[in-house]
Structure 1
Amino acid sequence: MDNLLAPLGASSHLDEANRVRLQDGLREAAEALETPYDMMIRFLNAGRQLSMIKIGYDLDIFTTLADGEPKSVEQLAAHKGADPLLMSRVLRFLSANRLIAETSKDVFAGNQSTKSLSDPRIQGGLLHAFHISVPAYQALPEYLEENKYQNITGGQCAWHKSANTDLEFFPWAKQNPKILRYFQQLMSVPREGSWLDVIPFVDPSVPAVGDADADRTVFVDIGGNIGHQSARLLAKHPNLGGKIILQDLEETVQRAPKIEGVEFMVHDFFKEQPVKGAKYYYLRAILHDWEDDKAADILRNIIPAMAEDSQILIDDLALPNTGVHWWSTCIDMQMYIMHGAMERTVDQWHSLLDKAGLKVVEIRTYSPVMRNSVIVAVPK
């Protein structure tokens, strides 16, 4: 594989479009060589890998091998008091799937995948998938059959069936701190590209932003959790004039670490926006959690607060109307099984905003394949 990729340079030097195009091309080429039996084996193994990764986490395999130093089966087994024979079989599976490296008989070391798997953010994302997403997907076929294959879920999703609960995910997760921590780790994994690259916060042609009155609110981070994006904004524009306000529910605001230059405010986005006349009202990965009716309500609650030059910035996927990438379709189905919601196409965004009394000014895409975008909206 190294010889195959050498002429192309390191993958870290490729931009998203070229890197994903190369990955997809290699996958398609491999699939073109498959017999029906090969295809069956690929799907069978896909259903097993996450469970084996979970076992790798339980046995501290990835964190132990992440330093790159080879370690014997006996060393790895002793760390958790595991049976060396069983440990060798687990390690053999992980190595055969290129998640660790086998250096000699009964000796293993880390590789690039091992280092990634040892990242707490990646670990949180995969453990969230193991405990939450996979059981919900297992429940999905029966759930769809029971509900006669309808898109509108009526508030009950495949996840509710798999978890045997009537609670929505976030209230449920607050009662399950470990799962909530996995979700927060997942949400901290950086996306491809940066929304800050497409919003002109420092621009002489926009004096309300570049030379803002110190008393005016420049940025309202609605449902901003503990402030990752507000902190990124300040890191890029430390001398930004005006106020930055982060809003979320009381329990989130109470546990959020303080950020110099950011004001925290308790607010439920299903109620009218209390900050009047801000330049930007920002919603990151909020509306994809809600069906159109609820999403429109969230947007309508902002409109009365807007000044003449205010804009709503919706940081979400804006999928092409055709030819959606396979990973974006995975995220779309994740929204369905968890929330009865969806990732929206460009046409669907126009429709939603029209329903809310808004119009799309433009869509600024900052990751060309996955279509992470900022939809800029103003009242009609």
Structure 2
Amino acid sequence: MSRAVVTGIGVVAPTGVGAGRHWESVRANRLRVTALPEGRAATYGVSLAGQVPQFTPDEHVDERLLVQTDRWTWFSLAAVRMALDDSGFDPAVRDPYSVAVSLAAASGGNEFGQREMTSLYTQGPKAVTAYQSIAWFYAASTGQASIRHGLKGSSSVLVTEGAGGLDSIGHARRVIRRGTGSVLAGGTEAGLSPYALACQAAAGRMSPKTAPTEAYTPFDVRASGFVPGEGGAVLLIEDDETTGPARRVYGEIAGYAATHDGETDTRSPAQFARAMRLALADAGVGPGDVDLVIADAAGDAIRDRMEIEALQAVFGDREIPVPVAAPQALVGRLSVGGSALAAATALLCIRDGLLPAVGNLRHPVHAPGLELVRTPRSAPVGTVLVNARGLGGFNSCLVLRRYHPEG
């Protein structure tokens, strides 16, 4: 059976543009949550967000395409290009049918769509551009990336809210096992437009706190909800038989599983724990083999407790508590972009041997059998479990491990 390995990483996130800047920020445990424009804060009850700094669209996207697409697609196009460059992968010399794009999406081109709908309401139908039909669509980033690079493999878009980044990576492994040589997977979001903030506010889960150090504090007794954010990551995933001995490999996609709670808002940890067990079994490893868990880290007391109970159900019998991290608390919840970014972070942890921290953790909740990492530290990291949940009851888990060519 084909083995799927990651050879390239592209990041556009509040930690910076590029995997290097992101990794530097994670290692330093640096908080990247900043104030939203004042009008949005007053209207939607949230004053903070993880915002991508110093992103210049025309450095990454052709001018003609800028007017046709939304910010989230700009992020994806930039991350795709960086993942290809990082890997040294040139699509122009490849069979176009051997390369696919399988990105995830949640809010789509919300900023573009809101602008066009405003034109409709205020100026009438003739003010709406033809690009509205393609820019807001949740498959826009997948489509634009495949067009830009001439990729004609079996492409798709995964829509499972915050779990989508992991689902796209799991799907990429499936596509590779069916015979496609390379897949671009992951995803980005740009959910900070007024419309997107209104949708997130309706769920009642965003933190009202105004200080970045107090707002998104998962697994902390101060937990009050999450801070929204934008950005994400794209990975280039390949069949290991096609990479060649000279190519760098960040790690192997060893296991993946997804479950559903069966209802939209459950407090039971059963299906989340089941997804973890299934992912570990798919990878052929046990709880004792896991060196790090990157948690979903919802940021509110009820859902954090549920994840802790799920982790305890899976890892509670270990002699040494499993390290649990949540570096996303430093940037906010990026929906599909957050889980994709967590996977990229896990691969960098494997490469450099680092346990990242739970961001903003000062007063940890009681979590017997788990080590909620307070400060980043060096440690051997061979196997990482990455967790993600999506609104509506989605649970997804991904096992990444150090790649050994011999198997």
**As a proportion of its length, which structure holds more strand?**
2
TM-score by length of 2: 0.27
TM-score by length of 1: 0.28
Looking at both structures, which has the greater relative contact order when contacts are Cα pairs under 8 Å and sequence separation is at least 6? 2
**As a proportion of its length, which structure holds more helix?**
1
Larger Rg: 1
